[in-house]
Amino acid sequence: MRTEFAKYEGAGNDFILIDNRGEGFTPDPRLIARLCDRHFGIGADGVMTLSRSAGTDCAMRYFNADGSEGEMCGNGARCFALFAEHLGIGGERKRFTAADGLHTARILRTEGTGGLVELGMTEVAEIRRGDGWWFLNTGVPHYVEFVRDLDTADVCGRGRAIRRDTARFPQGTNVNFVRILRDGAIAVRTYERGVEAETLACGTGATAAAIVTNFACQPAVLRYDVAVPGGTLSVRFSREAATEHYSDIRLTGPARRVFAGEFGTEDF
């Protein structure tokens, strides 16, 4: 069976997008992992399918590069919104469901095969603090640690160990190392659960890092420029004073269709 797909990237975080409104594609974990393999497959940090949804423009299912199904992916959801735009689904504002609930995305600008997309994220109600680290859920679980030198941070080594520290994080966690550049500006490197490696960007991680920076260091700052290896993202939010409750969280950044093609499931 042949399946059409499109490859998108958001700040270097890359994804395979499949229009599954006809329900012809079955997302088997082994197939997903093979498609994402950068040597024997198409190569990607994850796969997303777009399907019909009652009451919203469409529904998103997200799968990690290892084949496991994920709850949410910030950069992936922005790419998903642009994919929907290219398919002619919805208006300037897209409403879609994901495993972590309802999301709204706004297409701020389009140019060629790319665009600038703002994504509404789930609210944060709790931030857990440990010895030099913070933990919160921005759609998926995230560990945040501040470092002096981001270039020498052992993202893969320490990130892998923390990600698998089920004593502290029973479901595993994404791991973010953060350097504060100035008020309203941070740099982040992320080890992603499910990809099991450092990625060039992580939208939910950038969001987690910005919120923790506000919570721990810069309570007056409500908007952040977040430098990641693949580019720059923007995070803004509202915070209920003297609480851990963050709402109206918006992640903004670029998204781009790289190419389109088709594959035969029998080849994988």
Q: Which residues are annotated as part of the binding site for substrate?
A: 13, 64, 74-75, 174, 192-193, 203-204
Catalytic site residue 202?
Answer: yes
Annotated active-site residue in 36, 58, 73, 79: 73
Contact 266, 4 (CB under 8 A): no
Residue type, 245: H
| 256 beta partners | 9, 114
- Alpha carbons 217 and 207: distance in angstroms, whole number: 15
79 is catalytic: no
**CA 78, CA 98: separation in Å to the nearest integer?**
12
Binding-site residue set: 13, 64, 74-75, 174, 192-193, 203-204
Catalytic residue among 36, 58, 79, 202: 202
Answer for the pair 169, 138: CB distance below 8 angstroms, yes or no.
no
Q: Which of 206, 209, 210, 205 is nearest to 222 (CA)?
A: 210
- Catalytic residue IDs: 73, 202
